[in-house]
Structure 1
C-alpha cells in the first residue's frame, strides 16, 4: 500500500537516506526543508515523478498547514540535532525541536499517522547500572534532549503516533554529518591517526543511518500494531564505551592510536546501556553492524575531507 508521506527536514542526514527508500517503495513523498546548510542531498531523486520538494520552514503555519492536509503519513525530521548546535542557537532549537512539532500536532487530524524520531539521549545516565528501557526515568542533560522529552509527551497524546528513541547514528549519507561520534572518531582515525578520550568508559548505543530508514519503513508497514508506543532503536550488540569503539576502529585503520586522558571531563556526560528488546519483538532487527559502518566510513573519507579553511 502506498501513502502520501510528508517529510520535514527531508534533505538532512536521515532524510536524504530515507526519502529515496520511500520513493523506491512506491510512496509519494513531499519534502519541506529550509536548506540551512546549503545541501544538495536530494539531487538524485528529482527525476522521480512521486517526489515533490518545498523550500520552506516547518515552523511557519502558512507553509506547513497545506502540506499536512494532503499527507497520510508525517515524518517530522526537521530539527536542530545535537547539543552543540542547540547550545549555540537555543531559540532556533526550541522553535524547531519543540514549537514546530506542537504546531504540527495542532494541525493534524486524528486519522493521520505520525512517525517521529526522538532520542535515547533522554536517558542521561540510566539507572544505577546505567541500563535503560522505554520505562526508565528520563534524565535529559542537553537542551536538545530536554526539548525532545517535552515534545514526545505531547506526541504520545496523539492516538496515531509512534516515537522512535534513536541511538547515536553513524554511517555515510548524501547529507553527511562528520560530528556524530562514530563518524567523528573514524574521520580522526583516517586523517589524524589519533584521538584523545575523556572518560573513555562512558557507554552509548549506536545505529546505522540505513537502519533508521528501515525502522521507519517497518513502522509504516506495521503501524496498527505499533501505534501509541515508544521504541528504543539501536544495535543491541553496539552498547559500547568510547574505548571499545576506538578498539573497533583500530581493527580497520592501520596506525590509529588513542590516548585515555587521566584529567578532564567530557562535556557530553551521557553514559548508558540501552535495551532494544521492545522493537526487536515487533520483528525489526538492524542489518548493519558497527564494523560495517566503520568500513563504509573509511571509503567515504577517502573522498571527503573537511578542508574549507585549509590549504591542503
Structure 2
C-alpha cells in the first residue's frame, strides 16, 4: 500500500485504497474532493485525540498492557468483519505471503508500542514532529524494498527532510533528548510496515491484510501485556473504551475519505494531525513548542508534501501512458 500520511495507528491503507478503487470503478460520478478533504481532516482530529488518550494511559499504566487491550478490540473488530464477508474467516486468513503478513503485524504492534512510549517520554509535539518524516522514509526505502525508481527530485526532498529532522533533534546540543531517536525508530518501522503492505497487496486482498494485521498484532503483544497487567481505575477503563472506539471511527473516516476522493489530493491534509496533536500537547499536557521543533517540522512537512506532489505527477503520467 501507499502508506497514508497520518500518525502511527493500525491503519491498513490497502483497505482504504481498495475502497477507493471500488468507488472509482462503480461510482465515478460521486467523486467529491471537498468532502474527501473534510473527511481526512476529521480523521486527523480523531487520531490526534487517540494519541492524547494513549499518552494519558501510557503515563499511568504499562505501555504493553495499553497496546494489548487496544489490539484485543481491534482483533475482534477485524474478525467480525471477516466473519461477515464472503468466505468467512478462512478466506480472510488465506494469504499468498504469510511470512510477510506475519512480519507486518509484528512490526506494526512494536511500532505502536514504541510510539506510545515516545508520547510519554518526549511529548506529543516533539514525537509527532519527528514522526512526520516517515513518508520521506517510505520514498527512500521504496527502492530497496519494492524495486521502485526514486528520482533525483525525490532524493533531494528526502535530504531536505533529513535536514529538518536534524534541526528538530539538535544533535550535539545540550537540549538533545535521546527519546527523539525512539520517535525516529517508530517512523522507520511504520515506513517499513507501509512498504510491506504495498508488497503483499500485489496478490493479497485488502481484507486479508486487514485480518492479519489485527490478529497477528493482538497475539504477539498479549504475552507482554499480561506480564505487566495492572488494573485500571473505572475512569481510565472509560478512556480505554474511547481509545478503542476512536480507532474504529478513524478507520471508517479514512476509508470513506479515500472512497470519495483521489488519495494524492487529500493525503497532504493528513499532516494536520501534527497541528491537532500539538494543540492537545500544549493545552492538556502543558508541553512547550521549541522554535527548532517548529522550524524543523515545517521543513519536514514541506518536503513530504513535495514528494506527494511528485508522486501525483507520476501517477498521472502513468495513466496517460496507459
TM-score over 0.5 (shorter chain): no
Higher relative contact order (CA 8 A, sep 6+): 2
Tell me which protein shows more helix as a share of its residues.
2
Normalization by structure 1: what TM-score? Answer: 0.29
